Amino acid sequence: MAEVNLSPPAMPAGKKRIAVMTSGGDSPGMSAAVRAVVRQTIASGCTAFCVYEGYQGLVDGGDMIREMKWEDVRGWISEGGTLIGTARCMAFIERAGRLTAANNMIEKGIDALVICGGDGSLTGADKFRAEWPSLMEELISTGKRKDHEVAPFRHLNIVGLVGSIDNDLSSTDATIGCYSSLQRICQSIDFIDSTAFSHQRAFVVEVMGRHCGWLALMAGVSCGADFVFIPENPPSEKWEDDMCSIVKKHREMGKRKTIVIVAEGAHDKNLNHISASQVKDLLSNKVGLDTRVTTLGHVQRGGPPCAYDRMLATLQGVEAVKAVLEATPETESPVICIVENKIVRKNLVEAIKMTKKVAEDIGRKDFAAAMKGRDAEFEEFLQAFNITTATDKGDNMLPKEKRLRVGIIHVGAPAGGMNAATRAAVAYCLTRGHTPVALHNGFPGLCRHHDDQPLGSVREISWLDAESWASKGGSEIGTNRSLPSEDFKTTAYCFEHYNIDALFVIGGFEAFTAVSELRKARDQYDAFKIPMVQLPATVSNNVPGTEYSIGSDTCLNALIDYCDAIKQSASASRRRVFVVETQGGASGYIATIAGLSIGALAVYTPEEGIHLNMLVEDIKFLKDQFAKDKGSVRSGKIILRNEKASKTYTTEVISNIIKEESGGKFDCRFAVPGHVQQGGTPSPMDRVRAVRFGVKSMQYLESYAGKSKEEIYKDPMSAAVIGIRGARVKFSPMERIENEETDWKDRRPLNEFWMNLVNVVDTLSGRPQSCREGVPGSPAGASANGTPNPRKQ
C-alpha cells in the first residue's frame, strides 16, 4: 500500500499553526491570554489551536487539540480561571509522555506552542524544547513517524507566558493572575479588619503562594499588617519574641487590631515550617490577644481577572504571537515578561534557571541571595513594609541636624492610594526622626485656615493617625484643585511660619502645576527654596514624567466592573450596543486601557477625536458584526468614549446616531459612570505602589537635608516628579518635564506611551482599519510595540 501522510499539509510560507495551552494552577487572566493569542493568530493570517487540559491534552491528543475560530473566544477576557482547562499532568514529567505529546503535535501540524503557566509548567516547556531534537529522532527511529513528516517540525517554536497567582517566576515583575489574587486577599483582609477592630482581636491570615512570599508581602504592604512571614526572608532566630514585641508595641501605641500574614510556605531560618496555628498560639499565650486564624484557600485563585491582569494577559498574548512569527531556528525560546511598565521578551532558559536558583538559595539557607533572585521591586517592598511597621527607631534615626519638617499636601481630585502614600510617608518620617506635617485641604486650606483655633490646617501627623489609612479611599487630609499662585504670599508665609523644610505633593495634573509654580516662584520667595517631590496621583494617568499615576488602576477596576455589568445586560438583550463615557480629561488612557480590558469594540479618545467617517465606518462594522452574531451569547458590544473626545459627537449623540442608522437591526444605549470611576477602596496595585513611591519620595527629600537654600535653588533636581518610565522608577527634574514633555494646553504628556494600544483594541475586536484611516493623529498602522500592525502587512 502507498504511504499516506496523515498530517495536515504544510502552511504557506510565513503562516503557522499556533497552539495555546494553560497549565498548572489556574489563574485569573488565563482565558484573556488565550483570547489574545487566538485572535492575534487569526488576525495575522495564521491558524489558531487550543490544547485543552494543559499538558494532559497534549499527551492525549485527538480532540484535546482543537482549532479555534474568532467567535470561539468571545467574552473570554473577563472570565476567571481558564476556559480551556488546566491540569497538573504526571505523564508529561516522564519522557514517554513528552514523546507522545510531540507526536500529537505533529499529527495536528502544530508549528508553535504558547504555554501559559507557572514555574513548573515553564520548566516542563523548557525540558520539552531541550529534548525536542531527540524526541524527533526517537519518533523516526521507532518507526512512529517518517523523516518527511517530521521535517517541517525540526525546530520547536515555543513561547512562555507566565500565568500563576504566585508571582514566582524570576525576571518578570508580575505573573498573569497575581494582582487579581492580591485583590481577593486584600478584600478579605479589609473585611477581617473591621471585625478585628470591633473585638480588638488578632487575626492570623494564611495566604497561598507555594514557595513564594510575593502575595503575603504585598498583602502586608497593602493592608498595613503588623507582621508577615515569607519564605525568602525568614524571621530571626528569636522570631517568637520579635513578633510578640512588635505586636505589643503596636497595641501600646493605640492599635485595636492585629493582622499577621503567613505565607503557606513560611519557615524559620532553619527551614522549619511556621504555621498559622503556631503564630496564633503565640499571640494568644504570650501577648494575651483573642486570636483567630483565617486560611483564605482557593478563593484567592477564583473570580474574574482585575484590570491589570486583563491588560497584561492581552498584551502578552499579542506579544507571544509576534515572537512566534519573528522566530528563526536560531532564536532562543522567549518568555514574555513585564518590567515596571514594559512588555519584554526574556530568555526562557535563563528565567527558569534564575527561578530554580531562588529555590536552591532557600534550600541552602542563603536568604540574601533568594531575595535578590526575586524581581527588583521585591526587596524594596520588604524594606517599605519594615519601615512602615517599625517600632524600634534605634539605628534608623538621623542626627538632629538632618531631621526635616516635611509638609504633605494633596492637590486635585481624589485618587486611590493618596492615603496609602501619606501613611507610608508618615511612617518613614517618624522612623527617621523627621516630622510629618499635614497641610489640610490643599493650598486654599493652608492659606485660609492655618491659624484657625482650636484646630488649624497645619497639623503634625502621628503614627496612629495614619496607621489605618493603608486601605482608605479618598483623601484623609482633604484635597483641593486650587493652585499656590492664587496666593503665593500666604503660601510662602505659611511655609516659613510652620518651618516646612521639604514638600511632598500628592495629586494629578494640578499637583504637577503646583510644583511647577512653586519652583518658578523661587526667584521671589525664599520659602519655596526647599526640596519638593510630586507623586502623581490621578485617575486620568495624564501626569507628564510618569507612565503611571496612582489611582489610575483603581479607576480602571471600577470602570471594568461597571462595563462588565453593562456588557452582560447588552449580551442578554442580544442586539444591543452601549456607548460608555469614561473620565480621563483630555487623555484617552483610561478609555484605551479599559477598552483593552473589557474587549471594547472601539475606543474614542481626545487624541484622535471623533470624525464623521469614523462613525460611518463603525456603524458598518456593527451591522456586519450583528449580522454574523445571529443572536448568539456574549454578543453585547461596548464602545468607550472619553468625555473630551469630541464637543459635537457627545455620548448621547453618538448613541442616537447609531440607533438611527441601525435600520432597526440593533439597539443602542449610553451610560455615564461619572465619579464612580474614582473607585471606593483603592486597588492593591495602587496601594503597594503608593507605599513604594511614598517611601522613595521621603528618601529623596531626605537627601537634601543639610543643604542650603541656595544649593537647593540651583539644583534642578530639587523639584522633581517621581514616576515609572519604561522599565524604571525615576525622579525627573520638574523644569525639564515642564518644558520638554508637557502639553500644557491639553494637560497631558506630549508623548503618551499607550497611544499604539488603540491598535491592539481594534485588532482584537476585529475593527477594520478603515474606521480610523485618515484620522488626524491616529497611530493606526503601528502596533503595541511600535512594530507594524499585522493587519496592515
Ligand X SMILES: Nc1ncnc2c1ncn2[C@@H]1O[C@H](COP(=O)(O)OP(=O)(O)OP(=O)(O)O)[C@@H](O)[C@H]1O
Q: Which of the listed partners (ligand X, Mg ion, ligand F6P, none) does 124 bind, with a CB threshold of 5 to 8 Å by partner kind? A: ligand X
Q: Which of the listed partners (ligand F6P, Mg ion, ligand X, none) does 89 bind, with a CB threshold of 5 to 8 Å by partner kind? A: ligand X
Residues 145-174 vs ligand F6P: string with x where CB under 6 A? -------------------xxx--------
For 184, residues 6+ apart whose C-beta sits below 8 A from its C-beta are 296, 299, 300, 302, 303
Interaction between residue 606 and ligand F6P (CB under 6 A): no
- Of residues 113 through 152, those in contact with ligand F6P by CB under 6 A are 118
Q: What are phi and psi of 366, to 5 degrees?
A: -95, 80
- Per CB under 5 A, the segment of 117-125, 244-252, 416-424, 556-564 that binds Mg ion is 117-125
Binding residue (CB under 6 A) for ligand X from 31, 123, 181, 592: 123
CB of 117 to ligand F6P, least distance (A): 9
Alpha helices in 54-177 (DSSP H): 54-60, 95-108, 119-141, 147-150
Burial status of residue 120 (CB atoms within 10 A of its CB: 0-12, 13-18, 19 or more): middle
Q: Which of the listed partners (Mg ion, ligand F6P, ligand X, none) does 459 bind, with a CB threshold of 5 to 8 Å by partner kind? A: none
Interaction between residue 100 and ligand X (CB under 6 A): no
Q: Count of residues binding ligand X (CB under 6 A)? A: 19
Q: Which triple of cell numbers denotes residue 315?
A: 498584551
Spatial CA neighbour of 578 closest among 649, 635, 647:
635
CB of 701 to ligand X, least distance (A): 40
Helical packing angle, 376-389 and 418-432, nearest 10°: 70
Interaction between residue 120 and ligand X (CB under 6 A): yes
Q: Which of the listed partners (ligand X, ligand F6P, Mg ion, none) does 609 bind, with a CB threshold of 5 to 8 Å by partner kind? A: none
Is 458 assigned to a binding site? no
Residues 304-343 vs ligand X: string with x where CB under 6 A? ----------------------------------------
Q: Mark 732-763 as b/e (b = at least 16 C-beta within 10 Å).
A: bbbbebbeeebbeeebbbeebbbbbbbbbbbb
Q: Which triple of cell numbers denotes residue 56?
A: 494532559
Q: Which triple of cell numbers denotes residue 645?
A: 473626545
Residues 288-327 vs ligand F6P: string with x where CB under 6 A? -------------x--------------------------
Counted residue by residue, the chain has a size of 793
Binding residue (CB under 6 A) for ligand F6P from 19, 20, 25, 145: 25
Is 89 assigned to a binding site? yes
Burial status of residue 15 (CB atoms within 10 A of its CB: 0-12, 13-18, 19 or more): middle
Binding residue (CB under 6 A) for ligand X from 127, 248, 574, 669: 127
Q: Which of the listed partners (ligand X, ligand F6P, Mg ion, none) does 475 bind, with a CB threshold of 5 to 8 Å by partner kind? A: none
Distances from the Cα of 760 to the Cα of 70, 163, 418, 757, angstroms: 15, 21, 31, 5
Is 134 assigned to a binding site? no
Q: Count of residues binding Mg ion (CB under 5 A)? A: 3
Q: Which residue matches cell numbers 534550600?
A: 363
Interaction between residue 21 and ligand X (CB under 6 A): no
Between 164 and 778, name the residue whose CB sits nearer to ligand X.
164
Between 118 and 444, name the residue whose CB sits nearer to ligand F6P.
118
For 571, residues 6+ apart whose C-beta sits below 8 A from its C-beta are 75, 633, 634, 635, 636
Is 66 assigned to a binding site? no
CB of 365 to ligand F6P, least distance (A): 22
Interaction between residue 118 and Mg ion (CB under 5 A): yes
Coil, strand, or helix at residue 347? strand
How far apart, in whole angstroms, are the C-alpha atoms of residue 50 and residue 19?
A: 5
How far apart, in whole angstroms, are the C-alpha atoms of residue 608 and residue 790?
A: 21
CB of 25 to ligand F6P, least distance (A): 3
Q: Which of the listed partners (ligand X, ligand F6P, Mg ion, none) does 208 bind, with a CB threshold of 5 to 8 Å by partner kind? A: ligand F6P
Q: Which of the listed partners (ligand X, Mg ion, ligand F6P, none) does 93 bind, with a CB threshold of 5 to 8 Å by partner kind? A: ligand X
Q: Which triple of cell numbers denotes residue 15?
A: 503562516
CB of 50 to ligand X, least distance (A): 17
How far apart, in whole angstroms, are the C-alpha atoms of residue 255 and residue 197?
A: 9
Residues forming the active site: 166
Is 300 assigned to a binding site? yes
Q: Mark 532-548 as b/e (b = at least 16 C-beta within 10 Å).
A: bbbbbbbbbbbbbbbbb
Residues 202-221 vs ligand X: string with x where CB under 6 A? --------x-----------
CB of 78 to ligand F6P, least distance (A): 21
- Of residues 254 through 273, those in contact with ligand F6P by CB under 6 A are 264
Between 313 and 535, name the residue whose CB sits nearer to Mg ion.
313
Interaction between residue 25 and ligand X (CB under 6 A): yes
Is 39 assigned to a binding site? no
Q: Which residue matches cell numbers 499635614?
A: 438
Is 742 assigned to a binding site? no
CA angle 133, 135, 141 (to 5 degrees): 105
The distance from CA 567 to its chain's CA centroid, rounded to whole angstroms, is 23
Distances from the Cα of 50 to the Cα of 58, 65, 596, 774, 780, angstroms: 10, 6, 22, 37, 29
Task: Give the amino acid at 531.
Answer: P
Q: What is the DSSP code (8-state) at residue 40?
A: H
Q: Which residue matches cell numbers 449580522?
A: 627
How far apart, in whole angstroms, are the C-alpha atoms of residue 86 and residue 45?
A: 27
- Per CB under 5 A, the segment of 103-111, 116-124, 367-375, 469-477 that binds Mg ion is 116-124
Between 374 and 440, name the residue whose CB sits nearer to ligand F6P.
374
Q: What is the DSSP code (8-state) at residue 164?
A: -
Which residue number is nearest to ligand X in terms of Cβ? Answer: 120
Binding residue (CB under 6 A) for ligand X from 47, 82, 121, 605: 121
CB of 748 to ligand X, least distance (A): 38
User: Taking the C-alpha atoms of 392, 397, 403 and 404 in order, what is their torsion angle to the nearest 10 degrees?
Assistant: -40
Interaction between residue 119 and Mg ion (CB under 5 A): yes
* Omega before 779 within 30 of 0, i.e. cis: no
Number of H helices, E strands in the chain: 26, 25
Q: Given strand 667-671, what is the order of strands in its sheet?
A: 602-604, 637-642, 576-582, 667-671
Binding residue (CB under 6 A) for ligand X from 16, 19, 21, 23: 23
Residues 181-220 vs ligand F6P: string with x where CB under 6 A? ---------------------------xxx----------
Interaction between residue 120 and Mg ion (CB under 5 A): yes
CB of 184 to ligand F6P, least distance (A): 12
Helical packing angle, 589-598 and 552-572, nearest 10°: 50
Is 669 assigned to a binding site? yes
Q: What is the DSSP code (8-state) at residue 30?
A: H
Is 310 assigned to a binding site? no
Between 164 and 457, name the residue whose CB sits nearer to ligand F6P.
164
What does the binding site for Mg ion look like in residue numbers (CB under 5 A)? 118-120
What does the binding site for ligand F6P look like in residue numbers (CB under 6 A)? 25, 118, 164-166, 208-210, 264, 301
**Residues flagged as binding site for ATP:** 25, 88-89, 118-121
**Residues flagged as binding site:** 25, 88-89, 118-121, 164-166, 201, 208-210, 264, 292, 298-301, 481, 538-542, 576, 583-585, 643, 669, 675-678, 747
**Residues flagged as binding site for substrate:** 164-166, 201, 208-210, 264, 292, 298-301
What does the binding site for ligand X look like in residue numbers (CB under 6 A)? 23-25, 55, 88-89, 92-93, 117-121, 123-124, 127, 164, 166, 210
